[in-house]
Structure 1
Amino acid sequence: MAKRSFGRSVAVTACWIWALYPYFVYIPGGFVWDTCLSALLVATLFLCALKLREKPGSLWSWLGFGLLGGFTVLTNASALTVCSVLAAWAIFPLWRISRTPQMWPTSVLLRDHWRWLSPALLVAAGLIITLLPWQFRNYRAFHALVPLRDNFWLEFWDGNDGDTTSWVDIDSHPTINPDEGALFAKLGEIPYMREKRRKALDFLALHPGLYLVQCVRRFLYVWTGYWNLDPSNLLDEFHGFANVYLTSSLTLAMLLGLWRSLRNSGSLLREASPASREAVLPYLLVLLIYPLIFYITHPTIRHRHVIDPEIVVLAALGLRSLFPASSSSKSPGVPPTATPS
């Protein structure tokens, strides 16, 4: 992924960061959830999007992208936004060609329109094929329409119930709090989630200002690891000063990589001026879109790990720009996007 976007030297640097960064050693052994698998699937989806953007390939490739995206979403529902954005980014050059005025016969123009529409439909078909059985299962189990998962309002309430001492009030979760667990068992899953929705919306109506402040704090927490200086948080290994240092350092290196690429002022990228900004765009889209759901609910370090591969690539780009190689070993950058014939 890094090699295709920015060259071998950035790829090697990214590998070393991934091998030595403490959290990337701890997280695989510290969580039993989908964390590492989701990161792998999103990175694979990202690489496929890079390849399809550069060379659209056969229609089967687009169907495969949709199937992979569906499996990724089944593994981690929050990855749906990433899948959609990457698919749109990969298809965009085909759409742009179809919108360019051409003095061609109508049959040729129709063929060009179909050239972008067929990949879009195949990606959508792959997603539907993969996700539809789970939707049938949900309807059969709950006798209600439940898109993917039904716990959004529970997670929203856990992060926005008025307790600001931590980034999430874990004690209000039914798997932790016996009273909440008993209420969950008494009401049933769907009525329980509806009750959480009611309480969350009531809180929003009464405290809109506090909610906006919390969203800003969650944004800062995702990218710095800092929440507050409360001793109960600092005792947690993920929320001490070491966490703030590690998370902030990686974020700063990532921002440097973004800045160097967008400004195109680093000597590492000087030979790839048309392509460097194009290469960084999918990374920027993922970084902007994926965390949105956690800004409005509640974030954790393991949630960010899903996009850590993309963060590490940009961090490696930033570090390489500080120590550029000699002109003979510079990475050539990314070739301009291939125009399909």
Structure 2
Amino acid sequence: MAFVVRAAYVTVAHTYRFSPFEDHFTFGYEMARVARALVTGFGYSDPFSGHTGPTAWVPPLCPLIIAAVFKLFGIYSLMSGWVLLVLNSVFSAATASCVYEIAARSYNHRVAVWSGWIWALYPAAMQYAVRWVWETPLSTFLFAAILALALRMRGIGNDADAGQKRQDLSQWLIFGLLWALIALSNSTMLLFLPVCGIWILLGADNRSAAALHACMAALLFVACLAPWVWRNRIALHAFVPIRSNFGAELYAGNGPGSYGFRYGVLIGLPEQDPQHRLYVKLGEIAYVHQRGELAKAYIRTHPGHFAALTLKRFYFFWASVPHPSDKHWALDLIRQVNYCLPSITGVLGLFLSLRRRIAAAGLLAWAFALLPLTYYFVTVEARFRHPLEPLIVIFSVYLFQSASPRASAKLA
């Protein structure tokens, strides 16, 4: 049902008709620019306007998917737009099954059913799938799948009489593969990897065997990333594990005139733009290094400004970033409430889970703590919260289903 609703909306609302403004830049942004370069023979390059050379500005998984669709259905074509949004819908809909399993293993069938249906039908849960060509739905699905797998491997919610295997080699290899896909899609989430792995190991019946399997999973993880790291070494003449743009993002979020987040791209799209010309002149690695050094120097001399922006970004991550002023104030108010209220109910549901010692609450609390951490210090956008939104739905459902009438509570 989640897939049907999303695919139908894409088709009926014509969200696949992206604006041709700035050479279709809103159709996939930097990722689709790289995909176009791949299809037209320029390799993994050109994330902005013109031919700007090799890049590691964005991780490779999503651009490669977009490139495959462009190859089959045309570059920036209507059919490619429809196919990519339908693929987004597949990932977003598949997340519903992970939401159900996480809730069922952590809580009960009732919480799982409500959580799964809310994810399937709640408009805010599907917005990035049906309107944006970006990695967000894929990353969210992969992260939810990792959480569901972690609960299986730890034995949370397993039927003791069913003889379910846990922490065998195949599960650890799937663990390593999923984390490799996450790294190649949204590397920010790697902060959660060591906590997740250690948490699973601590619940192993045979820790020595589990440790050996974990090492093999780590080897698989490294093997999946190795071709990308090697390519970056050859093409960019630098060691770039995943992506290269950290320094530029740091400057945009914390440099002179910054206010905690940004609209638009870091490099101006017109090729005459000063930053675009500087990027081309220096090359990506040197440009990012320069911007990073400027950002660090400014932070050192303006620590109060940096601290204030960090607090603002913390607020923006959970309460919603400011919206462009061309929207009606009433619509913006609805948007703010729609974004902020689930944060409140989700956090309260997490606190209640910790208080009641729900088996997996500690692991899920680490996800809430670690996934936003980089964004607090660099930059923030509303979509950055989306990988946590499956958990926000589950915690919110648990919070409301844990409520009881006051009289009943007193009797209890």
What is the TM-score when the length of structure 1 is the normalising length?
0.79
* 1:21 paired residue number: 122
Query: Aligned residues: percent identity?
Result: 30
The answer as to whether partners of 1:234 and 1:240 remain within 8 angstroms in 2 is no
* Residue 153 of structure 2 corresponds to residue 52 of structure 1: yes
* 1:202 paired residue number: 297
Separation of aligned partners in 2, 1:234 and 1:310: 32
* 1:306 paired residue number: 387
- Change in Cα spacing, 1:121 to 1:243, as seen in structure 2 (3 Å) is same
- What's the CA shift for 1:165? 4.7
Unaligned runs of 5+ in 2: 1-101, 156-164
Q: Partner letter of residue 376 of structure 2?
A: Y
Q: Partner letter of residue 283 of structure 1?
A: L
The answer as to whether partners of 1:173 and 1:180 remain within 8 angstroms in 2 is yes
- Change in Cα spacing, 1:158 to 1:176, as seen in structure 2 (3 Å) is farther
* Residue 103 of structure 2 corresponds to residue 11 of structure 1: no
- What's the CA shift for 1:322? 2.2
Separation of aligned partners in 1, 2:178 and 2:318: 28
Choose the corresponding residue for 1:33, options 134, 151, 156: 134
* Residue 265 of structure 2 corresponds to residue 184 of structure 1: no
- Change in Cα spacing, 1:164 to 1:194, as seen in structure 2 (3 Å) is closer
* Residue 237 of structure 2 corresponds to residue 143 of structure 1: yes
The answer as to whether partners of 2:255 and 2:295 remain within 8 angstroms in 1 is yes
- Change in Cα spacing, 1:248 to 1:302, as seen in structure 2 (3 Å) is same
Of Structure 1 and Structure 2, the greater helix share is in: 1
Separation of aligned partners in 1, 2:400 and 2:326: 29
- Change in Cα spacing, 1:161 to 1:241, as seen in structure 2 (3 Å) is farther
* CA RMSD across the alignment: 2.5
Separation of aligned partners in 1, 2:305 and 2:232: 35
Deviations 1:187-241 (A, max 9, x none): 11111111111111111111111101111111111111155xxx8457399x932
- What's the CA shift for 1:64? 1.9
- Change in Cα spacing, 1:136 to 1:168, as seen in structure 2 (3 Å) is same
Question: RCO greater where, 1 or 2, for CA within 8 Å and sep 6 or more?
Answer: 1
- What's the CA shift for 1:139? 0.5
The answer as to whether partners of 1:138 and 1:146 remain within 8 angstroms in 2 is yes
Q: Partner letter of residue 319 of structure 1?
A: F
The answer as to whether partners of 2:248 and 2:288 remain within 8 angstroms in 1 is yes
* 1:319 paired residue number: 400
Unaligned runs of 5+ in 1: 98-111, 265-275, 328-341
Q: Secondary structure at the match of 1:277?
A: coil
Q: Partner letter of residue 296 of structure 2?
A: L
- Change in Cα spacing, 1:145 to 1:171, as seen in structure 2 (3 Å) is closer
Separation of aligned partners in 2, 1:206 and 1:240: 36
What is the TM-score when the length of structure 2 is the normalising length?
0.66
Choose the corresponding residue for 1:89, options 185, 195, 199: 199
Q: Secondary structure at the match of 1:240?
A: helix
Q: Secondary structure at the match of 2:360?
A: helix
Moved more, 28-37 or 154-163: 154-163
The 5 A counterparts of 1:92-107 are 92-94=202-204
Separation of aligned partners in 1, 2:139 and 2:167: 25
Choose the corresponding residue for 1:291, options 363, 372, 376: 372
Deviations 1:100-149 (A, max 9, x none): xxxxxxxxxxxx55234213312211211111111111101111111111
Separation of aligned partners in 2, 1:166 and 1:285: 24
Separation of aligned partners in 2, 1:323 and 1:134: 53
* 1:2 paired residue number: 103
* 1:331 paired residue number: none
The answer as to whether partners of 1:63 and 1:125 remain within 8 angstroms in 2 is no
Separation of aligned partners in 2, 1:285 and 1:83: 10
Q: Partner letter of residue 249 of structure 2?
A: E
* Residue 252 of structure 2 corresponds to residue 158 of structure 1: yes
